[in-house]
């Protein structure tokens, strides 16, 4: 059934049999006729289908364009991230104290590509740089940023919690440090669990609680006998340390769980 188009102010309905709209306004009558023809699906199914098809095709084209732009952004960000990681690694190998270049590159990732996958990794490196520069509060800020960006990602979050533990320990906030390392142990993939057991043991050693330190070292050796942390813990188990050395932190890298 066709919709009748009544001009505003008119008291008589349009004659639907004649197909002639009101003539008081050329623009409104043309629009009314177009709407009438469009809505009469008995007469114009092809027109309606054609319009729907155009809308769908337009939507597909828009989605493809957005996807293309996003892919291009991801690639650009990844290139910058790789360059930053290479600079960071080179500085670490050379044991240079000037980390300004990788810091600048990682900061650019965060500023220019905040929604990219690379921006989920960059705060971890920026926190490591801040810690090495003696700025733990700045490191904590970056690490909390990373936690927000990686909410729910069990492959990446253990790296952030481990770094938080090391950072809290550097400011002698031992309770917070222990809490962060305990979080690392709760992830099902057990990423960095060996490092967490080692660092928990060292904290308890610093707190002069040798029984708890021993328990964590023994657990580490039992669960991860091939871990490099287990080798260090074994030394303390066999000889007993005279003092507690600094905690160990896994160097930042692309967080990929170990192969089983």
- Is the Cβ–Cβ distance between 85 and 105 less than 8 Å? no
Q: Is 39 exposed, middle or buried (0-12, 13-18, 19+ CB in 10 A)?
A: middle
Cβ-proximal residues to 192 (8 Å cutoff; 6+ apart), any chain: 158, 159, 162, 184, 250
Q: Residue 16: its pLDDT value, please?
A: 43
- Is the Cβ–Cβ distance between 136 and 113 less than 8 Å? no
Q: Residue 66: which pLDDT band, with cuts at 50, 70 and 90?
A: low
| Residue in the structure block whose two tokens are 């957005």 | 66
**89 versus 22: which is more confidently predicted?**
89
The C-alpha torsion from 144 through 145 and 149 to 152, rounded to 10°, is 0
Q: Residue 133: its pLDDT value, please?
A: 92
CATH superfamily of domain region 79-239: Tetratricopeptide repeat domain (1.25.40.10)
Neighbours of 106 (CB within 10 A): 31
Q: What is the pLDDT of residues 187-223, one digit of tens each?
A: 988 999 999 999 999 999 999 999 999 999 999 999 9
Q: Residue 237: which pLDDT band, with cuts at 50, 70 and 90?
A: confident
Hey, where are the domains in the chain?
Answer: 79-239
| Residue in the structure block whose two tokens are 């990373």 | 146
Indicate if the pLDDT at residue 124 is higher than 60: yes
Q: Residue 156: its pLDDT value, please?
A: 94
Q: Residue 5: its pLDDT value, please?
A: 39
Instruction: Calculate mean pLDDT across residues 1-14.
Output: 43
Q: Residue 256: which pLDDT band, with cuts at 50, 70 and 90?
A: very low
Query: From residue 42, how far is each of 36, 37, 147 by CA, in Å?
Result: 11, 10, 58
| Residue in the structure block whose two tokens are 């160990």 | 248
**199 versus 259: which is more confidently predicted?**
199
Q: Residue 208: its pLDDT value, please?
A: 93
Cβ-proximal residues to 150 (8 Å cutoff; 6+ apart), any chain: 120, 156, 157, 160
Q: Residue 22: which pLDDT band, with cuts at 50, 70 and 90?
A: very low
Average pLDDT, rounded, for the chain: 78
Instruction: Calculate mean pLDDT across residues 34-50.
Output: 52
């Amino acid at each position: 059934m066709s919709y009748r188009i009544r001009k505003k102010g008119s008291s008589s309905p349009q004659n639907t049999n004649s197909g002639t709209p009101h003539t008081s306004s050329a623009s409104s009558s043309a629009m009314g006729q177009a709407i009438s023809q469009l809505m009469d699906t008995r007469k114009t199914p092809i027109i309606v289908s054609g319009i729907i098809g155009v809308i769908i095709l337009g939507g597909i084209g828009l989605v493809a364009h957005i996807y293309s732009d996003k892919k291009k952004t991801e690639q650009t960000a990844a290139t910058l991230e790789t360059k930053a990681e290479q600079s960071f690694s080179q500085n670490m190998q050379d044991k240079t104290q000037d980390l300004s270049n990788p810091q600048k590159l990682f900061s650019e990732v965060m500023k220019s590509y905040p929604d990219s996958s690379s921006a989920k990794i960059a705060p971890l490196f920026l926190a490591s740089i801040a810690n090495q520069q003696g700025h733990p509060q700045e490191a904590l800020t970056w690490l909390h940023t990373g936690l927000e960006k990686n909410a729910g990602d069990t492959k990446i979050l253990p790296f952030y919690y481990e770094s938080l533990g090391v950072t809290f320990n550097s400011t002698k906030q031992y309770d917070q440090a222990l809490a962060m390392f305990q979080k690392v142990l709760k992830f099902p993939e057990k990423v960095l669990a060996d490092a967490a057991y080692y660092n928990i043991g060292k904290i308890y050693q610093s707190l002069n609680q040798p029984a708890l330190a021993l328990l964590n070292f023994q657990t580490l050796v039992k669960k991860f006998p091939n871990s490099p942390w287990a080798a260090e813990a074994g030394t303390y188990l066999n000889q007993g340390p005279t003092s507690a050395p600094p905690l160990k932190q896994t160097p930042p890298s692309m967080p990929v769980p170990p192969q089983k």
